[in-house]
């Protein structure tokens, strides 16, 4: 039990830091609350869906922006919009914020700006992925140690 407690504390700290640093927001907490015995891996599943979606969208954007003959900003914008929606569904605040800036560059048809944002989005996405994977690992460890996952408000 000691280990479990330790892990739980670690988990809570980590969780808090994620919130504090803006990686996730309240929506993520909601998701965590939705998790129950019926769907013990709910958050992990949602996160995986999100990551897949994210990668796909980022690829779309990259491809659209690479077009030498003329960037279809509408397409880029559509992808960014979708990403924005997805990220808000999971509470990925930082990703979402980059998307907001990204969209205005799209509207302004600013290729340079868009490319920069794309880079940022990719970066934020990787960061988030790592953080969440760490979090999920902690969760697994807690469960393995016989503890329960604390809800961090």
Query: What are the residues binding another protein (CB under 8 A)?
Result: 27, 30-31, 33-34, 36, 38-39, 42, 45-46, 49-50, 53, 78, 81-82, 84-90, 96, 99-100
Q: Min. distance of Cβ 49 from another protein in angstroms? A: 5
Q: Min. distance of Cβ 85 from another protein in angstroms? A: 4
Q: How far apart are CA 40 and CA 42, in angstroms?
A: 6
Of 15 and 32, which CB lies nearer to another protein in the complex structure?
32
Which of 6, 122, 2, 22 lies closest to 62 in space, CA to CA?
122
Phi and psi at residue 36, to the nearest 5°: -150, -170
Instruction: Confirm if 11 and 19 have CB atoms less than 8 A apart.
Output: no
Of 6 and 27, which CB lies nearer to another protein in the complex structure?
27
Of 46 and 138, which CB lies nearer to another protein in the complex structure?
46
CA dihedral 153, 4, 18, 83 (to 10 degrees): -90
Phi and psi at residue 39, to the nearest 5°: -140, 80
Q: Min. distance of Cβ 24 from another protein in angstroms? A: 13
Of 29 and 122, which CB lies nearer to another protein in the complex structure?
29
Of 53 and 141, which CB lies nearer to another protein in the complex structure?
53
Q: Min. distance of Cβ 62 from another protein in angstroms? A: 20
Q: Min. distance of Cβ 71 from another protein in angstroms? A: 18
Residues 75, 77, 78, 84: is their CA dihedral positive or negative?
positive
């Amino acid at each position: 039990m000691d280990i479990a407690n330790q892990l739980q504390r670690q988990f809570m700290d980590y969780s808090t830091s994620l919130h504090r640093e803006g990686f996730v927001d309240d929506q993520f907490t909601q998701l965590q609350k939705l998790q129950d015995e019926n769907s013990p891996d709910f958050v992990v599943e949602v996160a995986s869906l999100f990551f897949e979606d994210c990668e796909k969208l980022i690829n779309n954007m990259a491809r659209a922006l690479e077009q030498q003959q003329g960037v279809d900003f509408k397409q880029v914008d559509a992808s960014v919009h979708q990403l924005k929606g997805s990220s808000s569904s999971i509470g990925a605040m930082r990703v979402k914020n980059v998307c907001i800036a990204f969209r205005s560059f799209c509207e302004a048809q600013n290729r340079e700006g868009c490319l920069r944002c794309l880079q940022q989005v990719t970066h934020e996405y990787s960061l988030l992925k790592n953080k969440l994977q760490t979090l999920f690992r902690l969760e697994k460890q807690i469960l393995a140690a016989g503890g329960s996952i604390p809800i961090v408000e």
